[in-house]
Amino acid sequence: MKNAVLVVDDEPSVIRAIARALQDEEVEVVGANSAEEAEALLEHQAFKVVISDQCMPGMEGSEFLARVSLRHPEIVRIMLTGHATLTGIMEAVNRGEIYRFFTKPWSDLELRFALRSAFEKYDLETRVRRLMAVARCQTLRLRQLEREHPGITRIQRHAGAHDLPLLDEEEIAVLLRDLGVEV
């Protein structure tokens, strides 16, 4: 998946400024002028990061990012606001599980570094989720094998070494047939 970021702000000039700040990066920037427009985009396009303004008509950024957190928990969420209050920051962090928080005007350099870090976070967490799925699948297969061939997954210890019990040719043929392997 390419590095795509959704920028949600009711001020089109902010979206354009962020796109300009990221023009030298390998990033696709898509803009939405409202939370509703952003939610429609999220249903049809994959994004790794969402940057949202806090103060928007219709829905606050913290509420929007909380909804993103529930519907698309894999997407990294960043808050951008011109009206930072401690209460607003706490609400945004607690409800939307915000990764980073920026105030307007932002530093282009800090924003680029934050986005690189956010993309790495997304990619790393995606790899971890895939590995966890493979581990769960392998555990289920081992349990299935153990049910069908009791003792096959047990490891025996002899003088500090580990031995797997040897199977005879018939047991191996049955095992391979059960796994769908042609002999």
Q: How far is CA 147 from CA 152, 153, 166, 175, in A?
A: 9, 10, 18, 12
Q: Using CB atoms within 10 Å of the CB of residue 6, give its burial: 0 to 12 exposed, 13 to 18 middle, 19+ buried.
A: buried
11, 56 contact by CB (below 8 A): no
For the question of whether the overall pTM of this predicted structure is more than 0.85, the answer is no
Least confident of 16-20, 37-41, 90-94: 90-94
What confidence tens digit (pLDDT) does each residue in 52-70 have?
998 888 998 889 999 999 9
Q: Token match 């103060």: residue?
A: 55
User: Residues 98-154: pLDDT tens digits?
Assistant: 999 898 999 999 999 999 999 999 999 999 999 999 999 888 988 888 898 888 777
